[in-house]
Amino acid sequence: MLLEGKVAIITGGSRGIGKATAIKLANLGAKIIVNYTNRLEAANEVVNIIKDNNGEAITVKADVSNISEVKDMMKFAVDTYGSIDILVNNAGVTKDTLILRMNEEDWDKVINTNLKGAFNCIKEASRYMIKNKYGKIVNVSSVIGVIGNIGQANYAASKAGIIGLTKSAAKEFASRGINVNAVAPGFIDTEMTQVLKDEIRNEMLKAIPLGRFGTPEDVSDVIAFLVLPYSDYITGQVIHIDGGMVM
């Protein structure tokens, strides 16, 4: 298997894109750290799926916005499996409302989790990757970080920030054998979109040339490509996975 012997940390790995990515990379042979903050039962379910398919996985509770907890998570991964080869920064939250109604707490929560969390994880994981002169980092951005959206100023800012973070980290770590890329999913059929009213979902579909919502697996397949040897000459890129929504 192409990722046999590799160790992958998936933040926000208990559901949606994170869950699909954890299962995909495990099927390719990687040992998986499923990070979660509150959803232990869901995280355990992901681990059980992986183990049922003869893979290796373990859960780790950590708030990615807390640097101390991130440090402990990275150390635990190395103590348990011996290295950190792959990092997928997927953890994210939304607190949607118009700018005039948005309070400071909702702004800070989204920025701290989505953007600061990715920074914290890159900073701490890269310490171990540099020692091994190898690493693959994939940051989950969003098309909203590219085009913006009404009522999502905090989310858009955090996801736009991830794009800048990706490009800067790619330049800093290229000489150390570490590739850093990002994916920018469009409207993916996860818990976030399933709660939307039918009329809103129908309007969204009109903006997608391929005529359907994406699946978590559509995103995890691209993430898998970016951590496989096939992508060794790719770094600092942002790949849109949006059915043609943003061209």
Give the catalytic positions in this structure: 155
- The neighbour count for residue 187, using CB atoms within 10 Å, is 22
Backbone angles phi, psi at 131, to 5 degrees: -60, -35
Cα angle 239, 243, 246; round to 5: 65
Burial 32-71 (b: 16+ CB within 10 A, else e): bbbbbbebeebbbbbbeebeeeebebbbbebbbbbbebbe
CA–CA distance, 225 with 196 (Å, rounded to integer):
30
Of 42, 11, 23, 29, nearest to 138 (Cα)?
A: 11
Phi, psi (degrees; rounded to nearest 5) at 138: -125, 125
* HSE value, Cβ hemisphere, 13 Å, CA-based, for 199: 0
Amino acid at 242: D
Q: How far is CA 77 from CA 1, 134, 166, 192, in A?
A: 21, 16, 23, 29
